[in-house]
Amino acid sequence: MDTDALIEAVDDGELRIHELEQHADADDAAEARRRLVTAETGADLETIGEYAFGAADAESNVENMLGAAQVPMGIVGPIEIDGGAVEGTRRLPLATTEGALVASVNRGCAGIRAAGGATARVLKNEMTRAPVFRVDDVAAAGETAAWVRANVDRLAEAAEATTSHGELREVTPYVVGDNVFLRFGYATGDAMGMNMATIATEAACEVVTSETPAELVALSGNLCSDKKPAAINSVEGRGRTVAADVEIPRDLVETYFKTTPEAIAEVNTRKNLVGSAKAGALGFNAHTANTVAAAFLATGQDIAQVVEGANAITTVDVREGGDLYASLTIASLEVGTVGGGTKLPTQTEALEIVGVGGGGDPPGENADALAEVITTAALAGELSLLGALASDHLASAHEELGR
Ligand SMILES: CC(C)(COP(=O)([O-])OP(=O)([O-])OC[C@H]1O[C@@H](n2cnc3c(N)ncnc32)[C@H](O)[C@@H]1OP(=O)([O-])[O-])[C@@H](O)C(=O)NCCC(=O)NCCSC(=O)C[C@@](C)(O)CC(=O)[O-]
Ligand SMILES: NC(=O)C1=CN([C@@H]2O[C@H](COP(=O)(O)OP(=O)(O)OC[C@H]3O[C@@H](n4cnc5c(N)ncnc54)[C@H](OP(=O)(O)O)[C@@H]3O)[C@@H](O)[C@H]2O)C=CC1
């Protein structure tokens, strides 16, 4: 059907607007949808309709496709990193609408580069899924938890039969009265792994329900915990747990951040540590979510998982001799270089800029490298914002670059 015929069929009640792809190609379906929405709302959708990829490429990423949200993309770097998976310099594209953000992260990268680079390591890699089961009473809950602890290998066999890349690393039972939660943790190679872990966990649950008194209530019981602020992710990690640090000589702190190591350390203590504690925050940092969100948008990560990416602690010390030491540890950075949004055309190009497109060799190497680059860039952003606060440049920077 052509777009006129699609519109007529919707207007006549013969087709619903989410059924258009069954009768036309994906681009025509999107155009018909735009014309229908314009007729209904009066909104001009010309720019939303100007996208550079084929709508069919996005079929597994979105339903009821209308067009694309275009977010400006900047670039930071080179970022110099001595990492476990990445060595040397990388650039990172950041998609954002916040003026001054790219400049800020870029300034931090320049300071880090001048100091000889940062060190970064992925410390843990476990994507989690935690189903909730119903039992009769706490005796049955105890029996179920004990069976699971003794039979992790049987659960691994069932889970790993569903994937060639996923590996079950651990299953931790939690009991609350007549509720049993099992937190499954998987190594997921280069995938962020949420679909992979969910499918694998469903298979493992069948073993649990056949061998114990537990009945499955929901495949996700919120102890995972996906896309919600949760202390368990801050403590145990989820996805990649990544740390980056740097030592910057005093004179370079003054050159790049227009302040002293002592002033940056004091802002960090009073703001990121004391202020965050008083606020009851989970993230003890200045704006890690800024870099994580912009990198996630650019590289095709699941943007809702910025919630977990903000579980980060920034530390700053003045070392003997007066140089600045700074670190950033992100407890739960959920990233992939295959699957999800990473296969869309602009996101693929962005991953190629970082040098991590597709599967790594060995699997997991590319996602580890991306995690190290994002964490180091976020450390750069921390340093730059702390410097701007210490030198009282925050408001003026945003007046100049952000309005
Ligand atoms: C704006 C700057 C960087 C100026 O900083 P400056 O020191 O005046 O800049 P500069 O001209 O001396 O250049 C230093 C380096 O900055 C970079 N740089 C400098 N300008 C640009 C530019 N236009 N485009 C790209 N890169 C730029 C560049 O790397 C350059 O080095 P070079 O490469 O030339 O050797 C600084 O004032 C700054 O970083 N301010 C802080 C802004 C910031 O971090 N905003 C974050 C968002 S705030 C927010 O969302 C969260 C918040 C604040 O609410 C959280 C909270 O509660 O704290
Ligand atoms: N289901 C859910 O509850 C949720 C889903 N999501 C969505 O899940 C998607 C991400 O899930 P994810 O599982 O990462 O992606 P996909 O579902 O796209 O699956 C990726 C698959 O790629 C295959 N693969 C190929 N090469 C590699 C490699 N080198 N390393 C790892 N895997 C490889 C794996 O297949 P194989 O397993 O056969 O080895 C893997 O399962 C996103 O779209 C996200 O928005 C987000 C939150 C919750």
Question: pLDDT over 90 for what percent of the chain?
Answer: 97
pLDDT (0 to 100) of residue 400? 82
User: Could you tell me which residues are beta bridge partners of residue 218?
Assistant: 132
8 Å CB contact between 50 and 336: no
Contacts of 287 (CB under 8 A, 6+ apart): 381, 382, 385
DSSP secondary structure letters along 190-253: TB--HHHHHHHHHHHHHHHHHHSS-EEEES--SSS--SS--HHHHHH--EEEEEEEEEE-HHHH
- Kindly identify the ligand whose nearest atom is closest to the C-alpha of 114: 1
pTM of the model: 0.95
- pLDDT surpassing 80 at residue 398: no
Residue 107 beta carbon below 6 angstroms from any ligand 1 atom: yes
Q: How confident is the model at residue 205 (pLDDT cuts 50, 70, 90)?
A: very high
State yes or no: is 25 an active-site residue.
Answer: no
Distance CA 316, CA 326 (A): 4
pLDDT at residue 255 is higher than 80: yes
Looking at the CA of 225, name the nearest ligand. Answer: 2
Confidence of residue 273 (pLDDT cuts 50, 70, 90): very high
Residue 402 has pLDDT above 80, yes or no: no
Q: Retrieve residue 308's tokens.
A: 């977990």
Separation of CA 121 and ligand 2 centre (Å): 23
Overall size of the chain counted in residues? 403
Ligand 1 centre from 266 Cα, in Å? Answer: 20
364-390 per-position pLDDT tens digit: 999 999 999 999 999 999 999 999 999
Catalytic pick among 302, 365, 372, 382:
302
**Annotation marks residue 18 as catalytic:** no
* pLDDT 10s digits, 81-139: 999 999 999 999 999 999 999 999 999 999 999 999 999 999 999 999 999 999 999 99
Pocket test for ligand 2, best of 59, 129, 160, 165 (most atoms within 8 A of CB): 165
CA-CA distance, 129 to 232, in Å (whole number)? 12
Residue 360 to residues 131, 166, 291, 337: CA-CA distances in angstroms?
A: 30, 14, 23, 8
